[in-house]
A and B are shown apart, each in its own frame.
Chain A
Amino acid sequence: MKRNTYLNFFIITLVWMMLFSLNSCKDKSAGYQVDLTKLPDREVFAELTDAPYVPPSRPEKGNAFVRVDLEIIEKTERLADGVDYTFWTFGGQVPGKFIRIRQGDLVEFHLHNHPDNLLPHNIDLHAVTGPGGGAEASLIAPGKSAQFTFRALNQGLYVYHCATAPVGMHIANGMYGLILVEPLEGLPPVDHEFYIMQSEFYTTGSFGEKGHQDFDMQKAMDERPDYVVMNGAVGAASGNNRMKVKVGETVRLFIGNGGPNLVSSFHVIGEIFNKVYVEGGTLINKDVQTTLVPAGGAAIAEFKCEVPGTLHLVDHSIFRAFNKGALAQIEVQGEEQFAVFTGKQKEEVYLPEGSAIQSISSGKRQIEQLDIPEKTLEERITAGQILYKQNCMACHMENGSGITGTFPPLVNSDFLQARSDHGIGVVLDGLQGEIMVNGVKYNNIMPAVSLNDDQAASVITYVLNNFDNGGGLVTAAKVKEWRNEQK
């Protein structure tokens, strides 16, 4: 009897296991399978694009034999205003060229290492089924080309990157991009497709330090980046480089994360993703606020732009966005849609107890006063422009217009011009409470900005001269004098 029980148990277990294994087989075969016996007969050259643009989907149906030519170029470019960096690129820009193919395509990949380059490189495409994603087949010395061919077995949005030792350094210097393997029938049409790739840079100098910056291996190992950027540089996809769409249009973002270390909490301020292809695969999630993009991973997000305004694309690990550069912008142009969003309807004073001026710098950090000779008016304006972008632009806007009712304007500001200190006190100490600027009431808090005397003098001189405030030169000595008076 006992023996029978055991037998029964055994049989039941066996049946369950069989059911399970059948199930898993079924799961595997659910997707489209590429028929390896059928070779595409049509040959095409892949069209490659630089971010934020995405090549169009091939108009013809079916698979093709696709030739991709990608050139590796080491070059020195702008990382931020006044900051240069020697990037290693796939195609001349960071991130690398966007590649668009279709599931089932046969891809002949040609990787060229420019003869002026110093280093060997290769490519690991996460879309490739094969050793190293093509890395072993494509390691090439400067001045050489490598060729390999692969079949695109899985659809999805994939990262590619250089995988030559030391891999971290090659990625940290800009060697990554995206390859989209579309489903055979193509993705549903949208009005706009954009390519956004986040990544970090580890520089010997801290954020904003001018001049050519070298790669800092120690910071990379400690995972302490100075720059976290969208599309390879601070401001590469914002301000004048922002993307533009119209109210009512649909947008699809191809989002990649080159890393090398950080995971991105990708978010668009002012939008909700109607649809997210989770991790760039076939699983679709709906109504998402923030989607995680792993280092060496991707995601596809879709939304409809219902109201006009500027959308901020950020890593919602938010200090990266506002202090390290991880910000891109889409301007939505068109008529207000009050049925969706009203804009500000009312504003009144609300001052609970205990609010106090905050400082942008931590209290512990002493402002380092460097012994810098006084600058000329022109030098102050040049230096001040960069400092303005780093410290002031986020609220007062690039053109100094501010935001009416929230952030006071700096353009022809009666408030500023009336101050005997030319605004030195505002920069060094911050400001809070009600003020009137050009006839509009403001009641907000501006934190103290931790600039040294030389920097403060430059940024104020810039504001006086560039925003129609009557000009004038503020010297570092004057700032110092003011600072000492307060002690």
Chain B
Amino acid sequence: MNRNKNRIGIIWLIIGLVLGTSYKLIAQDASMVKIPDGYWRPFFKGTDTLISVSTFYLDKKQVTNEEYEQFVAHHPEWSSEKVKPVFADENYLIHWKNRSESDQRVLSKQPVVNVSWFAARAYCRSLGKRLPTTAEWEYAASAPPIGRSINDSILQEIIANWYSRRIEAGKPVGSIYENSYGLWDMYGQVWEWVLDFDAMKSSDDSRGQDVIPQGLFCGSASMDVVDASDYTGFIRFAFRSSLKGNYTVRNLGFRCAASSAPHP
């Protein structure tokens, strides 16, 4: 039985190599879940229509330091020595500097942080994936923890608890809660990059670009939102709008998405 599995694995590996992708892709297949299509009610009122989200696939957990190290090993242009400043600022992977072996062991299963948007995007691309969009991310994250109703306030509690307390030393990925899609720690672990993190600032996005920038500041902030009590939503949007593509932040990691079923 085991041998059979191994044999299938080897065949997959060969197919993978033939397809010109790395073996890692296959290793990660089981790490994604399918998110069924549906609608996401945008946070800001300026958009009175629901945004439809097509079926997509999302990593169950955030990318870990260990996984990211493998990526850097294969793509040395993304090492902290070689990366270009336009793609990542000076704090890129700074938590890897001068770490002891035991630090490294502890870190290996924790989400990688201090990575820029460009770096996160490159990582996902290297696996034939991409970053999730804001709509996809918010839609997937809105699912309640397994066994809990969408209507109870458990998500708000998880988020508020995270915001209102100092973050303790990092936790391994997959240690806080699993939601009904099978995704781990959408909240409560680290912030996550999304593909269109700066959509609110860009002019080519028609989604209320004149509403949002000033809507995020001062008293007007409460005027334009669907649900003013969703204050944790404000924070994510404020956080995203404080970022630039080459920024790295100590509490900001990522996970990858894919539009179609991952290979094979």
Given contacts A86-B166, A165-B235, contact A143 B217 (CB under 8 A): no
Residue B251 at the A interface, CB < 8 A? yes
Interface segment among B26-34, B48-56, B73-81, B240-248: the answer is B240-248
B164 and A165 contact, CB distance less than 8 A: no
User: In the docked arrangement, what's the CA distance between A164 and B166, Å?
Assistant: 19
Residue B231 at the A interface, CB < 8 A? yes
Mostly, the B contact residues are helix
User: In the docked arrangement, what's the CA distance between A218 and B230, Å?
Assistant: 11
B250 and A116 contact, CB distance less than 8 A: yes
User: In the docked arrangement, what's the CA distance between A139 and B161, Å?
Assistant: 23
B217 and A142 contact, CB distance less than 8 A: no
User: In the docked arrangement, what's the CA distance between A116 and B114, Å?
Assistant: 12
B249 and A143 contact, CB distance less than 8 A: yes
Residues of chain B with a CB closer than 8 A to A76's CB: 165-166
Residues of chain B with a CB closer than 8 A to A141's CB: 239, 242-243, 247, 249, 252
B239 and A115 contact, CB distance less than 8 A: no
Given contacts A115-B91, A142-B249, A214-B160, contact A120 B165 (CB under 8 A): no
Residues of chain A with a CB closer than 8 A to B231's CB: 166, 168-169, 217
Given contacts A120-B242, A165-B234, contact A75 B218 (CB under 8 A): no
B216 and A165 contact, CB distance less than 8 A: yes
Residue B213 at the A interface, CB < 8 A? yes
State how many residues of chain A have any CB contact under 8 Å with chain B.
35
State how many residues of chain B have any CB contact under 8 Å with chain A.
34
A119 and B235 contact, CB distance less than 8 A: yes
A166 and B250 contact, CB distance less than 8 A: no
Q: Contact check: which of B161, B165, B218 meets A124 at CB < 8 Å?
A: B218
Q: Mark contacts of A183-216 with chain B using CB atoms, 8 A cut-off: 1 yes-contact digit, 0 otherwise.
A: 0000000000000000000000000000010110
Residue B176 at the A interface, CB < 8 A? no
Residue B167 at the A interface, CB < 8 A? yes
User: In the docked arrangement, what's the CA distance between A140 and B241, Å?
Assistant: 9
Given contacts A143-B248, A165-B235, contact A119 B218 (CB under 8 A): no
A167 and B242 contact, CB distance less than 8 A: no
User: In the docked arrangement, what's the CA distance between A299 and B242, Å?
Assistant: 33
Q: Contact check: which of B162, B167, B217 meets A163 at CB < 8 Å?
A: B217
Given contacts A136-B213, A143-B249, contact A167 B237 (CB under 8 A): no
Residue B163 at the A interface, CB < 8 A? yes
Residues of chain B with a CB closer than 8 A to A68's CB: none
Residue A7 at the B interface, CB < 8 A? no
B251 and A164 contact, CB distance less than 8 A: no
Residues of chain A with a CB closer than 8 A to B229's CB: 217-218, 221
A142 and B250 contact, CB distance less than 8 A: yes
User: In the docked arrangement, what's the CA distance between A214 and B216, Å?
Assistant: 23
A167 and B219 contact, CB distance less than 8 A: yes
Residue A479 at the B interface, CB < 8 A? no
Given contacts A119-B239, A139-B242, A166-B235, contact A75 B249 (CB under 8 A): no
Q: Contact check: which of A165, A212, A217 meets B238 at CB < 8 Å?
A: A165
B243 and A135 contact, CB distance less than 8 A: no
Q: Mark contacts of A114-133 with chain B using CB atoms, 8 A cut-off: 1 yes-contact digit, 0 otherwise.
A: 01101110101000000011
Q: Contact check: which of A133, A167, A214 meets B165 at CB < 8 Å?
A: A214
Given contacts A86-B165, A116-B250, A143-B248, contact A132 B218 (CB under 8 A): yes
Q: Contact check: which of A74, A140, A214, A218 meets B242 at CB < 8 Å?
A: A140
Residues of chain A with a CB closer than 8 A to B238's CB: 119-120, 139, 164-166
Residue A441 at the B interface, CB < 8 A? no
B249 and A165 contact, CB distance less than 8 A: no
Closest CB-CB distance, A297 to chain B, in whole Å? 14
Residue A144 at the B interface, CB < 8 A? yes
Extra pairs beyond A86-B165, A124-B217, A166-B238 (12, CB < 8 Å)? A119-B239, A120-B238, A132-B217, A136-B214, A141-B247, A143-B91, A164-B216, A168-B231, A212-B165, A214-B164, A214-B165, A217-B231
Residues of A within 8 A of B (CB): 74-76, 86, 115-116, 118-120, 122, 124, 132-133, 135-136, 139-144, 163-169, 173, 212, 214-215, 217-218, 221
Q: List 5 A-B contacts (CB under 8 A).
A: A76-B165, A116-B250, A166-B231, A167-B222, A169-B231
